[in-house]
Amino acid sequence: MIPGWLRRQRGPDAVGKTGVAGAGVPAGVDLKLDADDLNMCVQCGLCLPHCPTFRVTGDESMSPRGRIKLMREVQDEGAPVTQDVLRSFESCVQCRGCEPACPSGVPYGHLMEQARESLAEEHLITPRWQRLAFKPLSQPKVLQLGSSALALANKTGLVPRRLGLPDDLPVRQEPLRASGDDVYLFTGCVMDAWQREVHAAGKRVIEAAGFGVTPTNELAPCCGALQAHAGLAGETRALAERMMRTLSDDDRPILVDSAGCGAAMKDYGHLLGTAGAAAFSARVFDIQEWLAEHVDRLPSVAAPLDLRVAIQDPCHLRHVQRAHAGTRVVLRPFVREIVELDDDGLCCGAGGAYSVLEPELAGAIRERKVGVIDQVEPDVVASANPGCSMHLAGAGVATVHPMQLIDQALSQPQPQPVGA
């Protein structure tokens, strides 16, 4: 028998471990990860193909199994946090595609968020410029100002194409007005600035089903998802508490048409660990998810849109909220054909700010997704997340929000009944 077989050599002197701290490499960072969560991974590797960064690199250090192993070595064995360890963590898109694939139910997303929070506290990741960049998100006026400037820059060709910003970024626009108080429509930050027409479409569709809609506008300026991804959990918590204060007058549902925001808001219960936060999270619905329960209240259309629509499930809708079935239910009556992508919902590479921070990996991941889309030859790709839409549009893919398709189908002139 080989010595070492069946011997987990846990401890700093184990062979083959991440090595010793050299000059300038911090040792002994406490990642503050839950020991039981961390220990759940049995290293079976079933997550590997569901990880977009492993898919495009074939590199174990860019896989969930590899990242968890490195977390263990840092936390349990005091391995130093080298540049390569940081690279492993920072390259994660946080799409959480690995979670549904994991038979052991390892809470990878929470582990990665906690690891990043601990590393950000040590100022090992998320440099000052990034932290500053997240500031305007929670300040709608500043964001609108910046956005207008960006829109102008985009129109004059100062913004690189690969960022995929829409050509018609609004330079100036009016906020949406309330039509009733049945549901909230969360309008958020970047999306409200750049894709307000999606909110408008969603609002009209919900109204068409007979519900009055209150856009959250300045009541809830930002969900904190991007900050959480960057390890700035303190800011996320502050934003969550602020939103819960302003939206808790009654218990009406809060509909979200951005999958990333919806996932973050559904996670407030875990983030804040309070009963109030859990109750708030329970009121949050993806707009398609909620509408799927009320689809019979939408008017029927005589002619669905003559389109072959491929559904691209945003990771935070499919893997995190696990609520992607609703998109099909609500779209089906309004388009000619729905086609599925044959890639188990692999990430497109957008990942919130990921496509800006990791353009090379994000581009490679997107290339893969575009190949899968091309296979089914759709007229248009429906994506329930603005980040995915913009990222895919940057590669020339025609994208649209599901709500915009329904809105369009509903607003088409309907054929007049014969003899009317």
What's the min distance (Å) between Cβ of 219 and another protein? 38
What's the min distance (Å) between Cβ of 383 and another protein? 23
Would you count residue 84 as binding another protein (CB under 8 A)? yes
What's the min distance (Å) between Cβ of 361 and another protein? 13
CA dist 303 to 180, 291, 377, 410, 416, Å? 29, 20, 22, 10, 12
Binders of another protein among residues 319 to 348 (CB under 8 A) are 342
**254: which strand partners?**
184, 284
What's the min distance (Å) between Cβ of 335 and another protein? 23
- Please tell me the distance from the alpha carbon of residue 43 to that of residue 327, in angstroms, as a whole number: 34
Q: Using CB under 8 A, pick the residue from 5, 167, 249, 306 that binds another protein.
A: 5
Identity of the residue, 68 or 240, whose beta carbon is nearer to another protein in the bound complex: 68
Q: What sign for the dihedral angle of Cα 384, 390, 393, 394? A: negative
Binders of another protein among residues 213 to 252 (CB under 8 A) are none
H or E element in which residue 184 lies: strand 183-186
- Please tell me the distance from the alpha carbon of residue 324 to that of residue 320, in angstroms, as a whole number: 10
Would you count residue 376 as binding another protein (CB under 8 A)? no
Binders of another protein among residues 33 to 52 (CB under 8 A) are 39-46, 48-49
What's the min distance (Å) between Cβ of 39 and another protein? 4
What's the min distance (Å) between Cβ of 10 and another protein? 7
Q: Using CB under 8 A, pick the residue from 11, 28, 105, 210 that binds another protein.
A: 105
Would you count residue 189 as binding another protein (CB under 8 A)? no
- Best CA proximity match to 183, nearest among 158, 205, 161, 165: 205
Of the ranges 9-17, 187-195, 285-293, 352-360, which one interacts with another protein (CB under 8 A)?
9-17
Judged by CB under 8 A, how many residues of this single chain contact another protein? 47
- Please tell me the distance from the alpha carbon of residue 27 to that of residue 119, in angstroms, as a whole number: 12
57: its two tokens: 């690199």
Helices (H), 187-324: 190-194, 196-208, 225-229, 233-246, 259-266, 268-272, 275-282, 287-292, 315
**Which stretches of the chain bind another protein, using CB under 8 A?**
1-10, 14-20, 39-46, 48-49, 58-61, 66, 69-70, 73, 79, 82, 84-85, 88, 101-106, 342
